[in-house]
Amino acid sequence: MTTTPTEITTSSDSEAESLTETTVSADTAAVLAAPPMPRALIRRRIKADQNGVLIAATLMALLGWGALYVLIMSVPPLALYRWLFFILLYLAVTGTVLPFIWYLNNRFSGARPVMGGTILREGMWCGLVAITVAWLQMIRAANGALAFFLALSFLVIEIFLRVRETRS
């Protein structure tokens, strides 16, 4: 029988800590005793996860570019429609770059397959860079160096996140 930390009613903090440690170690032992999942099953789950991201990317790109075309061709440039422009541009760019990011990750990831959430996050970074540069262009503040350093900063953040993922 294991005790949970909420069931502990002792006056000594050291006794409570030892009970909590035994509970954690018992739970950890149960997890470690479970048979590991076969590699083939893990790869199939990751492949299904990636396929779901690619289906979502197709829908995002079609919806985003189609609605963006309708917005640009038929609506006057008022404040509400400018915000809608940025939202649709974000959807369109994110959905468009996801298949390319999927290909690059599958091509260069080596033995470690990449989860669909990582692919989606990288696509979202690209969409964020695109709408930031579009906004800077709208206020006439964009130039090549600024766009380069903006993309570089997002790339550095993504590298830090990927390094953190691989260590855990």
Q: For residue 144, what pLDDT is reported?
A: 87
Domain residue ranges in the chain: 1-34, 39-167
Task: Find how far residue 95's CA is from the centre of its chain.
Answer: 13
Task: Count CA atoms closer than 13 A to 146's CA, side-chain side.
Answer: 11
Q: For residue 7, what pLDDT is reported?
A: 46
Q: For residue 35, what pLDDT is reported?
A: 62
Q: For residue 33, what pLDDT is reported?
A: 57
H or E element, residue 104: helix 79-108
Is the Cβ–Cβ distance between 2 and 26 less than 8 Å?
yes
User: What tokens appear for 129 in the block?
Assistant: 């860079």
In tens digits, what is the pLDDT along the chain, a chain of 168 residues? 555 544 444 444 445 444 444 444 555 555 455 566 676 777 777 777 788 888 999 999 999 999 999 999 999 888 899 999 999 999 999 999 999 998 988 888 777 778 888 889 999 999 999 999 999 999 988 888 998 998 899 999 988 988 888 776
